[in-house]
Structure 1
């Protein structure tokens, strides 16, 4: 007698959470996800322990025991970093869409329902969501007043297939992080994160956008992003400095290779993105010494062949007078105004 083989339906969404030393935050993160996904069999939730040294993973295991069959747990025997953790998680994901969520952040109410509606109605390759900033570095009164941050200039709430608008809107908002971009799994598979480096979200952006054909911006905050003292940007050491410069160069090379790179809107937006990045570096470079100043000057020559004043002039043409003034002041103080 022949027996028919039955297969579980493919999940429509994989939520992937790397975990490393987030004892104070993993509970609220999981609460926010499970509150919206526990009753949906079409969502798989996969977590990976990147060799945490605190009780983060013990908390995850306790959640898994309270929600049997809902959490899939993976482990790295040694700490390999965020990029490696995300890459491992992706190889185990089976959902049509993939959403990377950092374990110190949270999903806001209605996020999964909003995503589900867009996916079922329109099936875009890429969905961009806005977020709320929770700043733990500020006093409690300021922290309660969380700010909404846009990740794209729009248009919003409609399915688009215009790569010029996609790139220019993303670069102008300067929000490259992976957790605000929910994409079909093959798109993320085409954009593996560079292991052993910081600022991996910037480096993979060209690969992700190169395979995106349709996209949607929600103009709705779905993620609560937590900024705290141990965040990557809180202390820009030598390793992070090197990696940020490298990520900026990879972004320049990758986006410049795209067919729409020569479009004025894309070219100006990329120049603006890089201008803001090097303004941030200009503030830090004095604390790191002359070798890092030399590295930045070389990178500036490659990224701004027409000089940094050209990018500042674009800000003025857009009416961004204060941004232009701040950029000119920071670059002049570092001796990078060319």
Structure 2
């Protein structure tokens, strides 16, 4: 059985209904699915608009505590063998997601990783790789941290929770979850429809929001880096790659979002104090190699301040 956890907060109810309907359209029987909606203190409760699903959902309303807390509440309540997070403005792509469920049914995985799309495309044939150890995958691939991009076995979470009150909570949660998985299956099935919205958290551009985003990411990077030092070598190398990738993204976002040399140099100095700068000399990807070369000198950093993000389009 799969527990589908849907955090909800102040969105049009039609989006939530579409999200729930996409789960109901799957081949799972009522005994094989559990749909948990966590209303995180919305101004208007959607419960009256969900009467068509009243026998198929578990609805919980809590005071507003943020996405991490809503997900944690869902995890506490879930009884399914597997977990799937879904944002309430998104939906599952029926045919493509069925191929992921087949992996769950017949391969007994710890994690199934799939792709997302921002277009309601028709399903196409998909490739599958696996099983592969989670740390091996992370050592050889960049990781998409979005928690909704995975079906995962509930018992590998153990005591893991999302950190409340921060942005980018998936960047901390997902790599640590992957390290606990021994049987990971990778599919390029576009099984999740991700709806881009102008008013979403990641598109806000006010200064206070930007600074919080950057500060939260910096703290996550430091936590993962410190944790990597305490892990066995096999896992440590995997988490080091992820930390380096996040540090690259953090420097890039500092440049693009602030356009401030003062902000950039202050944050670079803090990274250096923690041993996170310069970036490790690794050939993780062409973009990483280029960015490491550009970012290791003050001249390169200033050049990127003047030219990003236009320059990045040509990498």
In structure 2, how many angstroms separate the alpha carbons of the residues matched to 1:220 and 1:132? Answer: 10
CA separation of 1:194/1:262 partners in 2, compared to 1, >3 Å: closer, same or farther? Answer: closer
- Name the residue aligned to 1:140: none
Alignment of 1:93-172 (within 5 A): 93-134=78-119, 156-160=128-132, 162-170=133-141, 172=142
CA separation of 1:304/1:74 partners in 2, compared to 1, >3 Å: closer, same or farther? Answer: same
Q: Which runs of 4+ in 1 moved over 6 A?
A: none
RMSD of Structure 2 on Structure 1 (CA)? 3.2
SS at match of 2:157: helix
Q: Tell me, yes or no, if structure 1 residue 207 matches structure 2 residue 170.
A: no
CA separation of 1:211/1:322 partners in 2, compared to 1, >3 Å: closer, same or farther? Answer: closer
Of 267-276 and 210-219, more deviation after overlay is shown by 267-276
Choose from 278, 298, 319 the match for 2:251.
278
- Name the residue aligned to 2:68: 83
- Name the residue aligned to 1:139: none
Q: Tell me, yes or no, if structure 1 residue 324 matches structure 2 residue 297.
A: no
Q: Tell me, yes or no, if structure 1 residue 223 matches structure 2 residue 192.
A: yes
Q: Tell me, yes or no, if structure 1 residue 299 matches structure 2 residue 250.
A: no
Q: TM-score, normalised by structure 2?
A: 0.80
Give per-residue Cα distances to partners, 1:175-216, cap 9 Å, x unaligned: 101101211112234320001111111112343133222111
Contact in 1 for aligned 2:175/2:239 (Cα 8 Å): no
Q: TM-score, normalised by structure 1?
A: 0.75
Which structure 2 residue ranges, 5 or more long, are not aligned?
306-315
Give per-residue Cα distances to partners, 1:57-111, cap 9 Å, x unaligned: 32x5422x213420110010x2100000000111111000011111111101224
- Name the residue aligned to 2:4: 15
- Name the residue aligned to 2:311: none
CA separation of 1:199/1:269 partners in 2, compared to 1, >3 Å: closer, same or farther? Answer: closer
- Name the residue aligned to 2:52: 66
Q: CA deviation at 1:157?
A: 3.1
Of 121-130 and 291-300, more deviation after overlay is shown by 291-300
SS at match of 1:196: coil
Which structure 1 residue ranges, 5 or more long, are not aligned?
1-11, 135-143
